[in-house]
Structure 1
């Protein structure tokens, strides 16, 4: 269960300010980008597909007084990754924080009914984009002497969730990539961590609710809410705050792990 579709940076508390840092957030620009972009003081390169407007992200970042560059591209291709890395170098001179936050869902249903094409598309967007970001972004950061990479996973990556097998597999893969990359890049001064959201107010959750209870999405939302200990969905701003913390010096002794941001949904998980 999660809602990863967008990517950017967010403002947490003043202690998480990152004045002068250069961030790249990639995915499909939208609700979470705008929540994350409230992280004041960070210059941002926002990446999105041509089908998704980046205007909202630009406006949110500019409202904080920071600078923003937008790039239309596919973060699941080497060319798309090269484009946003070049934009960061050309516009801001370096890349301090990379947020891998592209993601899609493949609908709700039994594994036996999941089309192979849907599985392949989901893994391409959700996993390949993270792999390429770690590969090329990690190299860029190592060459410049350090940086931080934050991958957006899900509580679905911490347990087995029925009826969303492909999505669950993709988020487990992101947790694994986070741990492996952290071990490889630590010597170069690059930290790699992840956030694992649960149910978050977002268009993706609206789609999941409609898929789980066609014609009665409010019933599905009530059921998902009941799975949390706090009795509510999280917000994009709360996810952005967690990303901001991991990207900040306050988390300087943290790498290879994840922050679970799920209202207590996965209290029985490791």
Structure 2
């Protein structure tokens, strides 16, 4: 039980990686898990999957300061502390060349993927410092380590999260807060279905086949693969690790 008596807050927690991580954290003894998500429908499905015992469900837009301040306060009031902050909420935007990319979509991607991370640390840090520190985990992507044509907002946002992670690691260290980022290659979930179809509308399966051929281990990551890494970074097994970029890609970037 690697998270006995720990309280975790997971953004983007009602689907894909977030839901798999919430399930694993509970299995590893977490005292409470707060799931933050924008989708009411996904929150209801998560509740059906996980139940209400030890889980707090919060609908919020992570790109709005007032809502982030509110969700961190709710978790503090419910559980008394925040030991693990998994800033996992993300959106992919659309697949278009830069000259055709909609400005409003660019702003939305940056708001969720970058501002959401910044706001999460901004409002959770004081709570975590007051209770002796903890672990912050940021979901970035292999897209934060390289370039990919036609997804400028997504790639730019995932590069930006690395900078925020490194600043967070430096500013959090005096309060015993560790901050690290994880960088998955394609994960077999909704977001990748959207991107596959964006790269070749109506031919998503062929895009998936091509991506899979680029991964030496021969498959996409599962949500559970990413959850396992998040658990390691949330636990005391990583107590001397901060400011690190953890690539989890089956050899995709080798």
Shorter-chain TM-score tier: over 0.9
Q: In structure 1, what is the equivalent of residue 131 of structure 2?
A: 144
> Any gaps of 5 or more consecutive residues in structure 1?
1-13
Q: In structure 2, what is the equivalent of residue 6 of structure 1?
A: none
Contact 1:156–1:167 (CA under 8 A) maintained in structure 2: yes
Please tell me whether residue 26 in structure 1 is matched to residue 4 in structure 2: no
Please tell me whether residue 105 in structure 1 is matched to residue 92 in structure 2: yes
Query: In 2, distance between residues paired with 1:176 and 1:232?
Result: 29
Taking a change above 3 Å as real, the CA distance of residues 60 and 37 of structure 1, as seen in their structure-2 partners, is farther
Query: In 2, distance between residues paired with 1:147 and 1:33?
Result: 19
Relative contact order, higher structure (CA 8 A, sep 6+): 1
Q: In structure 2, what is the equivalent of residue 231 of structure 1?
A: 218
Q: In structure 2, what is the equivalent of residue 135 of structure 1?
A: 122
Contact 1:29–1:52 (CA under 8 A) maintained in structure 2: no
- Where 2:86 maps in the other structure, the secondary structure is strand
Q: In structure 2, what is the equivalent of residue 68 of structure 1?
A: 55
User: What is the Cα-based RMSD across aligned positions, in Å?
Assistant: 1.5
Query: In 2, distance between residues paired with 1:59 and 1:32?
Result: 17
Q: In structure 2, what is the equivalent of residue 35 of structure 1?
A: 20
Aligned positions, number:
250
- Where 1:38 maps in the other structure, the secondary structure is helix
Q: In structure 1, what is the equivalent of residue 35 of structure 2?
A: 46
Taking a change above 3 Å as real, the CA distance of residues 251 and 61 of structure 1, as seen in their structure-2 partners, is farther
> Any gaps of 5 or more consecutive residues in structure 2?
none
**Higher helix proportion (structure 1 or 2):** 2
**Deviation of 1:62 (Å):** 4.2
TM value normalised by structure 2: 0.94
Residues 116-147 of structure 1: per-residue CA shift (max 9 Å, x gap)? 11111110111010000111111221122211
Q: In structure 2, what is the equivalent of residue 168 of structure 1?
A: 155
Q: In structure 1, what is the equivalent of residue 181 of structure 2?
A: 194
Correspondence for 1:58 among 44, 47, 60: 47
